[in-house]
Homo-oligomer: A and B are copies of this chain.
Amino acid sequence: MPRAVREQQMLDAAVRTFGQRGYMAASMDEIAELAGVSKPLVYLYLNSKEDLFTACIRREAQALTEAVRAGARPGLPADRQLWSGLTAFFAHTARHPDGWAVLHLQARTHGEVFAAEVAAMRAEIVAFVTQLILAAAREAHRDPDLPEREVSGLAEALVGAAESLADWANATPGATARQAAATLMNFAWAGLGNLMTGAVWSPPEEEGGDAGDGDEGGPRQAGRTSPVR
């Protein structure tokens, strides 16, 4: 059996095992057995547990970003791109729950090296989303000079919400990618639109610090604008 094929089998087995058991609880024995090969062969091809895990992360990260990019077709309006990108994202994470667990849970929990690997992927996606937001602003003929920090924070929040919803969709039987995407669009799109119109929600003024855990008390005066309307 050719080497490349075997290697993919091993990665399949590894992703599944890492995703379900966790990085540390997964044993090379189990992975080898699931792949249908002997342990030494896994080491021969993939060097070490760390390298194997890294290979899993890379493969799954690439698969995910490619799925998202393939979903969001460049020609469409920004909101449609966002919509289809999100749908592709939820569809992919639903189809590859173990890969998603490897990326979202395992890689971030077991050492800086692995975390950096996913962080790179995430940064790429966040940048992509940031571009979409800016494009949307342009399309809406709004001021495209949105503050850098705001937009990147928003993109962070959007991606974070998406990640979280992916978990929720995976854990909720019957939840579809379209539902998850629609929920997120509803949740986020109007907020983004408002932001572009300058109709921001302003926090109440700071009040005197209180004791206790240090969590500040409730605000006294609101300065809200549009929300709830």
Contact = CB atoms under 8 A, between A and B. Distances in A.
Which of A95, A149, A187: most chain B Cβ within 10 A?
A: A187
A80 B164 contact: no
Contacts of A139: 228
A191 B228 CA distance: 9
Nearest to A224: B79
B186 A195 contact: yes
The quantity of this chain's copies bound in the complex is 4
A51 interface: no
Interface in A141-163: 149-150, 153-154, 156-163
Given A79-B228, A190-B227, A183 B150 contact: yes
Interface residues of A, number: 90
A109 interface: yes
A165 B161 CA distance: 9
Contacts of A25: 24, 110-111
7 contacts: A25-B111, A83-B219, A92-B213, A92-B215, A150-B183, A182-B202, A189-B227
